[in-house]
Amino acid sequence: MLALLLMLRGEADRRYVLIGVGITIINALTYTLLKLYFKRQRPVPFPATLRSRVLERYAFPSGHSSISFGVAFLVAHFYPFLWAQALVYALAGFISLSRIYVQEHYPSDVLAGALWGTGLTAALLPLFEKLML
């Protein structure tokens, strides 16, 4: 989808993608720092394997929820169509609920991730819009 927006859409869409990439990078860095600070174990700890050394071991806050709700906020902001907003928020909700279903996160991890991603994106968006003029 990112490649399609960059190739097929107009200049404004390319600007939106760049803003989204910048904010998403900051989001990923900050939720990772929060995970290292809180060090909350996952509901079902996985054994010490390569996965646990390469991927994040900690659960709080949910990175999937943070990114998905941050991107949903961006899409809703830049594309104010009810159908688009409903679609991206439903997708973000399904992504977040799936993290609980596969026992990677507690509900509070997912809620915190959704709030963090939305709040951080809302806070950074005006700055990025000014930078990307």
Q: Which domains does the chain have, with CATH numbers?
A: 7-131 (1.20.144.10)
Confidence of residue 129 (pLDDT cuts 50, 70, 90): confident
Distance, CA of 14 to CA of 20 (rounded, Å): 10
- For residue 12, the model assigns a pLDDT of 72
pLDDT of residue 95: 92
So what's the pLDDT on residue 4?
Answer: 53
User: Is the pLDDT reported for residue 53 higher than 60?
Assistant: no
Distance CA 54, CA 31 (A): 16
Residue pair 99/109 in contact by the 8 Å Cβ criterion: yes
63, 28 contact by CB (below 8 A): yes
pLDDT tens per residue, range 96-122 = 998 888 778 889 999 999 999 999 999
68-83: average pLDDT: 90
Q: What is the pLDDT of residue 49?
A: 57
Question: What whole-number distance in Å separates Cα of residue 27 and Cα of residue 23?
Answer: 6
Q: Stretch 4-8: mean pLDDT, rounded?
A: 54
Helix (H) or strand (E) holding 128: helix 107-131
Residue 30 has pLDDT above 60, yes or no: yes
Higher-confidence residue: 107 or 56?
Answer: 107
Residue 133's CB is within 10 A of a number of other CB atoms, namely: 5
User: Does residue 35 carry a pLDDT above 90?
Assistant: no
Number of other residues whose CB lies within 10 A of the CB of residue 50: 7
